């Protein structure tokens, strides 16, 4: 028997089977990490690359070295049809000129800090007030606007992309040289997992998160998406969207998602907090123990059957209902992103934590390792 011909025949069977077994009628591509594809240059001429992670089920995530941005995330619906469930642009230019943090890795401090000011060890630090009168998502040039060094690889869980960045002492007003690593993993069971670690040579504050805009239907408004949030309290805000320091029970409010509820069911209620946020733009106090991986939220979309579970080790979850999308952005495939066309689910520490002693600390000391694990898990029903 000619063993080489037999091996070739077996390989042909495997590749032919891939198209029907894993790709569900879509064009079949083998699982793995596709090497760096040029994706333009920044305004200062720095090259940007796009990496593609793909698993054996055909699920695909494309990640940029600019901002650690998840540019595309394709998952199947209940009929096996793949669709992109994150908002963004087809080219780099949009991300450089007009992006509300689409898909980005957020740091050095995710969310808002009141008046851009905090005190650490008796020393006051002033940050940019880029979301006047507050600081938002790390400042004018946060981690979402820098180019990261990339290393593709493989782990026991799936294909990986490791991104690293060294944030220097004083960058955007933050103290300490911070070495950051973010590992993206596309798992065999259709989750995109992000593991953040960081070290510092000086006391500093750190709060990293992920800012994808999700639409599980692929387009249209998200009012019919059904949401469960594992939380009995949230942190109210003032009219500048800064937390007041209160941990308020969700009982009897539009913020109670302990029973799965559509986003549109209560978003239009005459509620002061909803008026401040123009909808949901708040932090929920997650009920599982901080530092332990647990379920934060579950989102389901009835027409496609897609389900997204959000798991993390973080104490809070910022749920944002796309309130500032206004039809001025033309995104991927020529889609115009309208009011409430997407949601963000951002596991993190609470907003403005450095200014509230009753909130879990965001201080990182030399010799310690910051660690944050987030997983977006996709399935269908």
Which residues belong to the active site?
211, 346
Strand partners, 269: none
Contact (Cβ atoms closer than 8 angstroms) between residue 368 and residue 205: no
Contact (Cβ atoms closer than 8 angstroms) between residue 31 and residue 18: no
CA–CA dist 42, 66 (Å, integer):
8
| 275 membership: H or E segment, kind and range | helix 272-277
CA–CA dist 315, 350 (Å, integer):
7
CA–CA dist 200, 206 (Å, integer):
10
Considering only CA atoms, which of 305, 302, 312, 303 is closest in space to residue 229? 312
Whole-Å CA distances, 259 to 67, 202, 231, 255, 273: 35, 44, 10, 11, 20
The answer, yes or no, to whether the previous bond of 108 is cis (omega within 30 of 0) is: yes
SS3 80: coil
CA–CA dist 272, 278 (Å, integer):
10
CA–CA dist 135, 109 (Å, integer):
9
Q: Which residues contact 224 (CB under 8 A, 6 or more apart)?
A: 217, 262, 263, 264, 301, 302, 303
Pairing of strands 209-211, 47-54: unpaired
CA–CA dist 124, 167 (Å, integer):
20
CB atoms within 10 A of CB 155: 13
Strand ranges, E, within 129-239? 135-136, 149-154, 158-167, 178-187, 191-200, 204-205, 209-211, 226-229, 231-235
């Amino acid at each position: 028997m000619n063993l080489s011909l037999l091996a070739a025949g077996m390989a042909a069977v495997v590749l032919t089977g891939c198209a029907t077994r894993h790709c569900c009628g879509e064009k079949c591509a083998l699982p793995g990490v596709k090497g760096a594809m040029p994706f333009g240059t920044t305004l200062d001429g720095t090259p940007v690359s796009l990496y593609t992670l793909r698993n054996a089920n055909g699920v695909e995530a494309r990640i940029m070295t600019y901002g650690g941005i998840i540019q595309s995330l394709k998952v199947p619906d209940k009929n096996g049809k793949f669709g992109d469930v994150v908002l963004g642009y087809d080219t780099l230019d949009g991300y450089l000129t007009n992006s509300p943090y689409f898909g980005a890795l957020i740091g050095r401090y995710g969310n808002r800090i009141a008046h851009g000011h905090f005190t650490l060890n008796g020393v006051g630090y002033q940050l940019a007030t880029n979301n006047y009168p507050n600081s938002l998502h790390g400042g004018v040039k946060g981690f979402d606007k820098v180019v990261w060094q990339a290393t593709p690889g493989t782990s026991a869980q799936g294909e990986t992309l490791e991104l690293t960045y060294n944030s220097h002492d004083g960058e955007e007003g933050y103290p300490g040289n911070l070495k950051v690593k973010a590992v993206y993993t596309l798992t065999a069971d259709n989750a995109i997992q992000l593991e953040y670690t960081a070290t510092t040579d000086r006391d500093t504050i750190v709060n990293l998160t992920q800012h994808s805009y999700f639409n599980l239907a692929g387009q249209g408004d998200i009012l019919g998406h059904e949401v469960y949030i594992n939380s009995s309290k949230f942190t109210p805000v003032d009219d500048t969207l800064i937390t007041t320091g209160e941990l308020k029970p969700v009982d009897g409010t539009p913020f109670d998602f302990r029973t799965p509820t559509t986003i549109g069911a209560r978003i239009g209620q005459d509620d002061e907090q909803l008026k401040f946020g123009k909808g949901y733009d708040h932090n929920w106090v997650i009920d599982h123990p901080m530092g332990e991986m647990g379920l934060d939220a579950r989102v389901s979309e009835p027409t496609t059957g897609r389900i997204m579970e959000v798991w993390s080790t973080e104490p809070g979850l910022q749920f944002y209902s796309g309130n500032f999308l206004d039809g001025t952005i033309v995104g991927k495939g020529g889609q115009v992103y309208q009011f409430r066309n997407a949601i963000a689910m951002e596991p993190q520490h609470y907003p403005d934590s450095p200014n509230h002693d009753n909130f879990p600390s965001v201080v990182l000391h030399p010799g310690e390792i910051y660690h944050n694990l987030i997983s977006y898990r996709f399935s269908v029903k």
